[in-house]
Chain A
Amino acid sequence: MRPAQGIGFIYLSLLAALLLTVTPVPFQFNLFRPDWVLLVLMYWTLALPRRVNIGTAFLMGLLTDVLVGTVLGVNALAFSVVSFVVAVNHLKIRNFSVIQQSLLMGLMLALYQLLLFWLSHFLTGVNFRPAYLWPVLTGMIVWPWLFWLLRRYRRQLKIQ
């Protein structure tokens, strides 16, 4: 096992994703905001599953819960589950082309959204509207670019 290197930079990218989650944007775009934290988290779980997996996912989920004001633990649970699925299958997912990966990430994002809805439905009684699934689509569109960007980031800074 190679020694850990540049772990701080991983957290830096996650912090940037957290900031993007709460940056004010015009109201019309708010429903389309991709789940930045989860996307960045999934990239790192794919690239370095030894360094970033369920522990980091749980922590980031908790921070997201605090930032966006959902019931504490809802995002933490959903992030952990998605991160588990990605970590277990990381060797398979890595071999897919970017387009296939993007579709698969869409599936993961949908799983996350539905988990989130399901938990919130039990805890606070929210009603489902199809518009809640927009972030899945925008997340799929963003994924190839994010993947390319973060891979450059990882290689430039030699994060292992």
Chain B
Amino acid sequence: MKRFLRGSFLRDNGLSAGFGAMFLAALVGQAFAGQADFNHRQLVEGGSPVTLLQYVTSSDFAVNVAENWQSEYLQFFLYVFATVWLVQRGSPESKPMDQIGTESDKKQKTGRYATEDSPEWVKAGGWRTAVFSRSLGIVMAVIFLLSWTAQSISGLSVYNAELIADLQDPVSWLGYVGSAEFWNRTLQNWQSELLAVGSLAVMSVYLRQRGSPESKPVGTSHAKTEESG
């Protein structure tokens, strides 16, 4: 297997290809399960069942996708951003205690410490370097905000359809983003993401996964921070 994959495109891109394939499989599974669930609810509420194509272009599918996307991108944005300033002694997810903050130009290879093979926007200096220095967090934050907005728009449509089905008045977008329904959907996702990140940071102090860059080498002491194996 190792020999077969050596030097191949799939080996070089195993993480993105593997997770991309699993993402698509899960999304397709969600579409089928979601359609079945939706059609069951339609039957109960006196509506018409929908086809798979109608379902994947519906607000019901969109809100269920978007509410999970926003929380995942928020999780990674916070993780990328918070690990600049917050550390965890003994965790391979953390940097050493004495490197809290954005660190020096020398360590970050910026300014006059930029090297020949540094990215173009690092060598360019000025606003380009400032933006590039934060680009990972910025893109994560922007995707989070777009997904959250998409959740609010598609969620409004689903919520209002349910209100009308229950013989109640629909609400405005502002009314929806201030509603218990919106914040219940949002916070139940946030709490689970934050718990997962926090517990990974703590558990990786005391537990190991041989060969994983998310873990310290198996024999490393619990007190050692920032080392992965």
A binds B: no
